[in-house]
Amino acid sequence: MKELFTVGELSKLFSMNIRTLRYYDQVGILKPEMTDNKTGYRYYSTRQFERLNTIKYLRALDMPIEKIAHFFDNKDPETMVELLRGQQADISCKIAGLQTISRKIDNRLTQIQDAVCSSMNIIRIRHLEKRAVLSLRKEIPRGTDLEYPIRELERLNALSPAMFLGKVGVSISADDLRNRKFDRFSEIFVFVEDEDRYEGNLEYQKEQDYLTIRFSGTHVKSDDSYNLLLDFMEKENLRMTGSSVEITLIDSGLTNNQSEFVTELQIPFEDGTPL
């Protein structure tokens, strides 16, 4: 019975890539049993089949090469149990990470689908739950490229840029709104979800009623929509209770077609009718 096999023969026998077997040789976890001094050919023996099976099994469990090498250097049942338990813990962490990514995708899909189906220039009253935010309070002239203050907000709170899609907002102060002055923002913020990582201090936009409207465009085209909201508030005797919340739901980050841009304005209010 044949006892010695070339790397090509072994690769066919175990349905493996030759480069993989050569890599295992290079890192020292599966070296050929003998080398022909005349031809330079390397040969593996049947005695190495069990070792290769073990390597294939552990690699199928996504076990790192260095841990496999550690097992062969300390080969006994206790080492294998330790190895498998460690890998099980690592896989659990990866699963948790993938579940976090899945929730983020679900959140963004819901938001984008809602934005795409927006009805424009319709005033609505919405009761919104408390929302966690990280904020940067500074005067920002409208028309300023918001990318720089976004990066500043990111650096101050150790935020990942990937979290900003559809979650960045700006505010106009209540005083400026009362004076119908819409040419500057008093704050830029990012909504924070449970899965987000950050190092700053959370603040909260409190649970309350908001007067809302969506329009086609970005922040620089908000005047008419703000005036519609403020006119409605005066007509219905509603009292403004804080700064606006202004969120671009669809912008150049999602489409090159400016006609598809969607921005939502929210103004907190309460009934202004005297008791």
User: What is the CATH number for 155?
Assistant: 3.20.80.10
Pair (171, 231) in one structural domain: yes
Q: Over the chain, what is the mean pLDDT? A: 91
Specify whether 26 is located in the same domain as 82: no
Q: How confident is the model at residue 165 (pLDDT cuts 50, 70, 90)?
A: low
274 or 24, which is more confident = 24
Give the list of residues 6+ apart from residue 5 with CB closer than 8 angstroms, or none: 13, 43, 44, 45, 46
The rounded distance, in Å, linking the Cα atoms of 142 and 140 is 6
Mean of pLDDT values over 184-193:
92
List the structure tokens of 252: 């150049």
Higher pLDDT, 28 or 163: 28
Between these two residues, 105 and 172, which has the higher pLDDT value? 172
Q: What is the pLDDT of residues 13-65, one digit of tens each?
A: 999 999 999 999 999 999 999 998 888 889 999 999 999 999 999 999 999 99
For residue 275, name the pLDDT band (cuts at 50, 70, 90).
very low
Domain residues for 30? 4-75
Look at residue 105 in the predicted model and tell me its pLDDT: 86
What letter does residue 118 receive in the DSSP assignment? P
- For residues 244 and 162, membership in a common domain is answered with yes
Query: Judging by DSSP bridges, how do beta strands 262-271 and 245-250 pair with one another?
Result: antiparallel
Is the domain of 133 the same as that of 251?
Answer: yes
Q: Give 46's Cβ-side CA count (13 Å radius).
A: 3
Return the DSSP state at 260: G
The dihedrals phi and psi of 102, each to the nearest 5 degrees, come to -60, -40
Same domain, 51 and 98: no
Q: What is the bridge-based pairing of β-strands 262-271 and 140-141?
A: unpaired
| Residue 9 φ/ψ, nearest 5 degrees | -65, -40
Q: For residue 27, what is the domain's CATH number?
A: 1.10.1660.10
Statement to judge: residues 174 and 251 lie in one domain? yes
Judgement on whether residues 90 and 206 belong to the same structural domain of the protein: no
Question: Is it the case that residue 274 has pLDDT exceeding 70?
Answer: no
pLDDT value of position 244: 97
Total domain count for the chain? 3
Return d(Cα 3, Cα 12) in angstroms, integer: 15
Q: Tokens 């480069």 appear where? A: 19
How many CB atoms are located within 10 Å of the residue 132 CB? 16
Closest by CA position to 227, among listed 146, 148, 155, 172: 172
Give me the pLDDT at residue 133, please: 92
Residue 1 has pLDDT above 70, yes or no: no
Q: Report whether pLDDT(189) > 90.
A: yes
The answer for residues whose C-beta is within 8 angstroms of residue 137's C-beta and 6 or more apart is 186, 187
Residues of the chain with pLDDT > 70, as a percent, come to 96
pTM, two decimals, is 0.73
Token pair recorded at residue 85: 């338990």
Does an H or E element contain 135, and which? strand 131-136
Band of pLDDT at residue 131, cut at 50, 70 and 90: very high
Question: Which residue is listed with tokens 């609505």?
Answer: 124
In this structure, the answer to whether residues 233 and 146 fall within a common structural domain is yes
127 shares its domain with 257? yes
**Which residues are within 8 A (CB) of 145 and not within 5 positions of it... i.e. 6 or more apart?**
none
Q: Flag whether pLDDT at 163 surpasses 70.
A: no
- Summarised one tens digit per residue, pLDDT across range 65-87 is 999 999 999 999 999 999 999 99
Mean pLDDT of all residues in 174-183: 96
Quick one: 104 and 10 in the same domain? no
pLDDT at 188 over 60: yes
Task: Report DSSP state, residue 204.
Answer: E
Residue where one domain finishes, among candidates 65, 93, 117: 117
Q: Are 131 and 204 in contact (CB under 8 A)?
A: yes
> Based on the domain organization, do 154 and 255 belong to the same domain?
yes
- Specify whether 152 is located in the same domain as 185: yes
DSSP string, 158-202: T--GGGGTTTEEEE--HHHHHTT--SEESEEEEE--TT----S--
**Other Cβ atoms within 10 Å of 151 Cβ, number:** 13
